[in-house]
Every structure is written in structure tokens, then in C-alpha cells.
Chain A
């Protein structure tokens, strides 16, 4: 039997970085293929090539045995491929029916809305979904939106459905409902590529699997021929040279103490401490509550219960101002919208927090300029000028400006959320050295990262989060990527 999809020798490079290297696999009609790998392993690139967002550098794609060129989203759709991304493409203020028929309106020139609603209702019922076609999408739960997105894809007669981490943001019962929907589609002959980090789902659903690591295929086969440990080692099994952490640093008194921090539905009974000079890594999958933990400590989001202490004194910041005043800094995940003012200069960006913290009455532009030029020199920030908008800097240099901002303000505890995401390797190394340097100065550091090598290279201890809880606290010297990943995907210790 000819496979529905066959991929042969697919390669793709971005700016010299090899995102996919010679990847080949196939998918039969009416089967579910689990696509797994760490963040940055090449899953997204593969999906984007199949959905027409990127062209491959090399390799062939065959649909039902015929070689095809997917040179745009339209071409992908015409081939019967539909992709449901994590960021949903729905119109929040339109109704379910309006979203479902969008761009394929019934009734010719003038849209026949009665027919649209009737057809929508019938179509959803056929899929076994109970969604009110007149509800606005904004009012739907995340799970319902996800199902609507899938329904939308299927209405376009998709024969190959790609689901990009559809369960990452869903809770237990919603996940089950979504998995049931996927099983129903499979029995109707739809082929599905299912991206998930949660291995228990993979074992409960998929027929075959493909594991990518650093753009290369490290394993493929029938799911019944593998097990949990085998998949984890294929995901992370790489040589890694230990990083810059000085092993025998003497740690000081506790700086941050988090006690039973809870935010309903987001964080559950989180407790840990970070000592002076200590680097604590927070690992876990997207949606596990890592960013939410950082924001709760920082006072950016409210908490339901629990306490945060800094130097033994209650902090419990209700807004960032209190946290900053107490000596906490946050390098946020979204650098361009939360960490920086991209339209403003390095000077303006670097001086702002210190200005707030010291309650300065006046701005001294020439002093700020000198101070910023000093940081530009010391942190080796590559900028055309201290007065140029930071939008013109590269990601790594922008991140250094964010760090300069906190160095200038002075912090005892610095929380870094994905500090090196989207940053080139050279700047990455420099940021690691800076983190290490801050540790030597006796700062407490909490580092959230999806990159396990980064977590291992920097951390004295590693907290692994799963579903808003701390699933494991591991020794940074002894733990391994496999062990972290085991806890991050919800593995249970025997």
C-alpha cells in the first residue's frame, strides 16, 4: 500500500544553522504518527515545510506516492494537508459557525448564514463535538477552541492533519476528549502527525513515532516496539561537555524562600529556596508553570496563597514595584515586548529601572550616557551607538541590554526566563559567563530554561515542574538530561 505521506532526505538550514538533516519517514493512511523531540530539535521546521511556510533545501515529499512541491500554504491545503498550530488562528469575536465557514462561505455571492449555521451544526455533530454554533469563540475554553480549529481543518477535506502540541495547554479531561477526537478521525482514514512532549499520550494514541534531535532523525518505528526510556534517550542522548559552573562555590544564606505558593489552576504548593551565590534551574515543558512561577514571585501576577520571603523578610510582592524595591529583578521570556522598549535607546532602556528603584528626581542624560557606554564596553554589547533604538540590535545584544538594566539597578535575586532563547551561540556563551559572574558576586539566580544542556551547565540544583507542581528537585552535579526529561514528561518514580 502506498503511504499517505512519504518524506525522503529532507534538509533545511537557516543562516548556516542546520535545522533538519536528511530526515526520512513515512505515514500510512489512517495512522497516527507521534513526532517527538526537545524544543529546537527541528519539529517546527518539519511542520512548517509540510504546511508550505518554508521550502526544503533538499529532499522529496510524496503524497499518495506522487512527488509534490509545497510552495505555499495554499498548495499545502490543496494537497489535503491541514495544520493546527498552538497559536490558534481563530477570530475571537466571530461565532463558531462564522469561523468554521470562513473563506468557504455557502451561498455564492451573498452569504447564506442560515445554511452556514445548519451546515456547521451538522458537521460538528458528525465529528461528535457539542459546540453551540452561535457562541463567540472568545467565550470558548481552550480545549473547545482547539477542537474548533481541528474541525475547521477537516472541513477543508484534510487527509493529513498536523497537530502541533495540541495538549500542551489542556487539562486532564480536555486532553481525553481531544484524544478521542483524534482516534475518531483515524478510524475515518485521516492520517495524523501528532506533536507532543507527553509520552504517556504518545503511548496511548500513536501507531508510529519519529524522534528528532538537533535536526536529525534519531529513531523511527512502531510505537509497540519501543518504551518510555528508549524514547527519552533518543530525544536527549547527546554528548555534552559540562559548562562554566564552578563546582565548589561556597553558598551563602538563603536569599529567596518560596513557601507553598499556589495560584489556582496554575501553580500548586510550590516551595523552594535559593541561597546567595546559588544558581537554581527550573526545567519543565511549556505550560508547566515555570513562567507563571517567575511572575508570581515578581508580583506581576496575583497568587491565591503561599508566601515569598527575601533575606528572611516577607516579600509577597503584589506588584513589580515592590519586588524591584526589595532587590528582585526579572529578565522576562518575551524580550521584545516585556523586557525592552525596542523603540527607545540603550541609554533609555538601561537607566529606567534604576531610576524607578532609586526614586530619582531628575534624569541626568550625560551621566546615563556615560553609564550605558560603560556597560556597552564591559558586556561587549555590539551597538551602532548607545543612542540607537535597541530594535536595531541583534537578539543577543538586546538581551545584554536587559541584563545591563538589572546590573545598573542592582539586584540580590535575578530571575531569568529563557535567557538565551533566539540568541546566537557566541552571545549565549557570554550570557552564561555573566550569570556565573553574578553568582560569584553572591547574587541568587533562578533560571528558567527549556534547553536542558543550559540548565545542566549553569545550575547547582534543578527544579523540574510538571502541571504547576515541582515534580522533582535534582542535584545539578549528578542529574542527567534523561532524568530531568523523565520528570518533565510526568514520569513517576517507582
Chain B
């Protein structure tokens, strides 16, 4: 009890591994079952397919992770996805270059995210309600500008096609985008003060305020990130389908939330991260792919998926509980005299 710190402090990496072991373990477990039961899963064509399938929900889920970490939720991502795709298609049809059209579609996503954020941070509307309202309204907007019909556009630009369906060096384009966004998400959460503030706000809004965090700005930015990711997923979807579909991605908000939660991020905010979300999204894609390979009917697939969500969340809750029940090297059991030695005098060194 003499040394306040344990002799061998655990490394950052081992701590991170422990924090994320649940989604990783689940993924590995599923893969092991697969090796034994469905060898065809590991054919490269199928693996690439899984990557492709995980990409769009994965990109949305990374953005969603930011919002959920603040203790919020973003239900409007599916609608933003659709509007972004529609925007891209219609701007291309109006004669704009594909790059500019896609860029403007992303800006639309950011703007709608800012709107969500302002509603939550400034008007103090509950995130669920605010984004429910924008979800409905944005959906309506997409239907209105398209008259309800999918917008075909010239999708012959090879670079653009890669975003939705093509391959780069044999790897599906959308999966590459997902990976890039994931890495960015991890880096932002870890290496930018903004990322630290997101966790702080999810931990305690009042403590964050008293620590000098600009809470309003941070919340708005988190929703903007979510809007941007959703819009990017919309551009990818448009590229893949070759149309801007006003009803595309209508359930992708729930898929994205599922990926985040399976990835171990707490809906209460402050706990979790983007690494878990990546595994969560991959796990969902692997699960659907497997069930397709085995030949489980789509109806039964939904039932299985529901069960997997419950199991994953139960395990996640247990992991968190364990992490918070580390043994306490508590001073209460130490005789008071043992702690009375003077503090390290180096405390003064900075002042002298």
C-alpha cells in the first residue's frame, strides 16, 4: 500500500483492448462458428460482399457514435441519406459536375445536422423529439422535390461509381470509404479536444459547463458530423443504385443505432467509441450474410437479429459494470496515520 500507483501500469493498448473486447469477441465467435458451418463464407467474393454491405450503415453509424456519446440520438439520418441522394441526382441532371453535386449534397447534410444540433442545444428540445421531427420533415422534403419518384441520373463517371459499387485494387469502394471514415472518427474522438468534449458532455453536461467546455457548440458540431456522415452515405447509395431515391435508407437510422449499441457505446452517453462501432457494423453485416448463406428466410432473419441485439447489449452492460467495479485501493481501510506522510515536495517546484 506504500506505492500509490501499481508497479506495472497497464499500457494504453491493453486498456483499449479490454474496453472493446466484447464486440471483438462476438465477431470472432461468429467467425469460428462460420468456419465450421459455412465454409463458403470465406470465399473472397463473399468477404468483399460483406464489406460492401457493412459500408453504408457503417458510415452512418460512425457519425451516430458522436451524437450518442453526447447522450443524444439522431433519428433523421435515414431521411438525410435520402435527401442527399436525391440532391446529388437532381443537381447532376441540371448539368452540374458530379463532384460539385456530391459536395453540395454533403453540405446539405451538414446544414441539417446543424439544424438538429441547434434544436437540441439552443432550444433544448429532447434529441429524440428534435430528430424525429426533422426525420419526418426531411423525408417530406425529398418526396416533394422528386414528386415521389426516383431520380435517374447519368452514372457513367467511373470515379463516382467506385463510391457505391466499384472496386479499388480489388477492394470495394464503399468499404474503403467506410474504413477512411472510421479512422477519421477514431482520430477525431481521440486526438481533437472536440472529441474529448463529446465524451465530457455525455458524462455530465453540468460538469462540462463548469469545466469551461463550450457545450452548445460541441453538441451542434456532433450533430453536424452525424449529418455529414449520413449525407455521405446518401451519395454512396445514389452511386450504387444509379438513382436518387427519396425513400432510400428509411430504416438505416435504426440499423446505425444498432451498430453503435452493439459496439458497446452507451445510449446514456460518455462511454464507448468509434472502434466498437466499426465492429458493431461489421458484425451486423456478417450476421445477415451468414443467414443468407445458410438460407434462413428474411422473416426469421429479423427475429435472429432482434435476439442478437438483446444479447449483445446485455454483455455490453456487464462489461461496463465490471470496468466500474475494479478493486478500490481505498484509503478508508488504511489507518489514518499511514497517509499522513507529507506530500511530495515537488509540488512546489513549478512555482519557485
On A, residues with C-beta under 8 Å from B are 15, 298, 300, 319-321, 323-325, 330, 332, 337-344, 348, 351-353, 355-357, 360-366, 369, 373, 376-389, 391-394, 396-397, 405, 407, 424-427, 429-430, 433-434, 437, 440-442
Residues of B near A383 (CB, < 8 A) are 4-5, 329
Residues of B near A321 (CB, < 8 A) are 212, 214
Taken together as a complex, chains A and B put the C-alpha atoms of A325 and B346 apart, in Å, by 26
Taken together as a complex, chains A and B put the C-alpha atoms of A300 and B351 apart, in Å, by 29
Taken together as a complex, chains A and B put the C-alpha atoms of A426 and B343 apart, in Å, by 12
The size of the chain B interface, using a CB distance under 8 A, is 53
Interface centre among B10, B203, B207, B323 (most CB of A within 10 A): B207
Residues of A near B190 (CB, < 8 A) are 363, 365
Q: Please determine whether A377 and B344 come into contact, CB atoms closer than 8 angstroms.
A: yes
Q: Please determine whether A356 and B332 come into contact, CB atoms closer than 8 angstroms.
A: no
Q: Please determine whether B211 and A352 come into contact, CB atoms closer than 8 angstroms.
A: yes
Taken together as a complex, chains A and B put the C-alpha atoms of A339 and B190 apart, in Å, by 22
Q: Please determine whether B339 and A300 come into contact, CB atoms closer than 8 angstroms.
A: no
Scan residues 149-195 of chain B and give those whose CB is less than 8 A from a CB of chain A.
190-193, 195
Kindly report which residue of chain A lies nearest to residue B338, judged by CB atoms. A426
Residue B45, interface by CB 8 Å = no
Q: How does the 8 Å CB contact mask read for B330-352 relative to A, with 1 for contact and 0 for none?
A: 11101011111011101110010
Residues of B near A339 (CB, < 8 A) are 207, 210
Give the top 7 A-B pairs by smallest Cβ distance, nearest first: A341-B203, A426-B339, A441-B351, A356-B212, A324-B212, A382-B329, A378-B344
Nearest-neighbour CB distance to chain A for B47, whole angstroms, equals 33
Kindly report which residue of chain B lies nearest to residue A380, judged by CB atoms. B4
Given A363-B196, A387-B10, also A433-B336 (CB < 8 A)? no
* Binding site secondary structure of chain A: helix
Residues of B near A332 (CB, < 8 A) are 207, 210
Residues of A near B12 (CB, < 8 A) are 365-366, 369, 387
Interface centre among B196, B210, B340 (most CB of A within 10 A): B210
Q: Please determine whether B331 and A397 come into contact, CB atoms closer than 8 angstroms.
A: yes
Taken together as a complex, chains A and B put the C-alpha atoms of A63 and B207 apart, in Å, by 46
Q: Please determine whether A433 and B209 come into contact, CB atoms closer than 8 angstroms.
A: no
Residue B124, interface by CB 8 Å = no
- With beta carbons under 8 angstroms apart, the residue of B4, B271, B339, B340 that contacts A376 is B4
Kindly report which residue of chain A lies nearest to residue B14, judged by CB atoms. A387
- With beta carbons under 8 angstroms apart, the residue of B4, B193, B346 that contacts A363 is B193
Taken together as a complex, chains A and B put the C-alpha atoms of A385 and B14 apart, in Å, by 12
- With beta carbons under 8 angstroms apart, the residue of A380, A387, A389, A405 that contacts B324 is A389
Kindly report which residue of chain A lies nearest to residue B191, judged by CB atoms. A363
- With beta carbons under 8 angstroms apart, the residue of B204, B331, B346 that contacts A394 is B331
Taken together as a complex, chains A and B put the C-alpha atoms of A379 and B329 apart, in Å, by 15
Residue B297, interface by CB 8 Å = no
Nearest-neighbour CB distance to chain A for B307, whole angstroms, equals 28
Residues of A near B195 (CB, < 8 A) are 363
Kindly report which residue of chain A lies nearest to residue B188, judged by CB atoms. A363
Residues of A near B199 (CB, < 8 A) are 341, 344, 348
Nearest-neighbour CB distance to chain B for A219, whole angstroms, equals 29
Residues of A near B348 (CB, < 8 A) are 437, 440-441
Using A341-B207, A388-B326, A392-B325 as known contacts, list a sample of 15 further A-B pairs with CB atoms less than 8 Å apart, ordered by residue number in A. Answer: A15-B332, A337-B207, A338-B204, A342-B203, A348-B196, A356-B193, A362-B191, A363-B193, A369-B12, A377-B5, A379-B344, A382-B4, A384-B326, A396-B331, A427-B331
Taken together as a complex, chains A and B put the C-alpha atoms of A376 and B196 apart, in Å, by 21
Q: Please determine whether B343 and A379 come into contact, CB atoms closer than 8 angstroms.
A: yes
Q: Please determine whether A362 and B192 come into contact, CB atoms closer than 8 angstroms.
A: yes
Residue B57, interface by CB 8 Å = no
Given A320-B211, A363-B193, A382-B331, also A352-B200 (CB < 8 A)? yes
Residue B213, interface by CB 8 Å = yes
- With beta carbons under 8 angstroms apart, the residue of A319, A387, A437, A441 that contacts B15 is A387
Residues of A near B208 (CB, < 8 A) are 341
Nearest-neighbour CB distance to chain A for B11, whole angstroms, equals 9
Residue B244, interface by CB 8 Å = no
Q: Please determine whether A330 and B210 come into contact, CB atoms closer than 8 angstroms.
A: yes
Q: Please determine whether B207 and A442 come into contact, CB atoms closer than 8 angstroms.
A: no
Q: Please determine whether B326 and A426 come into contact, CB atoms closer than 8 angstroms.
A: no
Taken together as a complex, chains A and B put the C-alpha atoms of A321 and B213 apart, in Å, by 7
Nearest-neighbour CB distance to chain A for B10, whole angstroms, equals 6
Residue B9, interface by CB 8 Å = yes
Residues of B near A352 (CB, < 8 A) are 196-197, 200, 211, 213
Residues of A near B337 (CB, < 8 A) are 426
Q: Please determine whether A391 and B339 come into contact, CB atoms closer than 8 angstroms.
A: no
Taken together as a complex, chains A and B put the C-alpha atoms of A362 and B191 apart, in Å, by 6
Q: Please determine whether A426 and B9 come into contact, CB atoms closer than 8 angstroms.
A: no
Residues of B near A330 (CB, < 8 A) are 210
Given A337-B207, A341-B203, A427-B339, also A391-B4 (CB < 8 A)? no
Residues of B near A319 (CB, < 8 A) are 209
Taken together as a complex, chains A and B put the C-alpha atoms of A340 and B271 apart, in Å, by 14
Q: How does the 8 Å CB contact mask read for B201-237 relative to A, with 1 for contact and 0 for none?
A: 0111011111111100000000000000000000000
Residues of A near B336 (CB, < 8 A) are 424-426, 429
- With beta carbons under 8 angstroms apart, the residue of B191, B192, B270, B332 that contacts A343 is B270
Kindly report which residue of chain A lies nearest to residue B4, judged by CB atoms. A380
Scan residues 1-39 of chain B and give those whose CB is less than 8 A from a CB of chain A.
4-6, 9-10, 12, 15
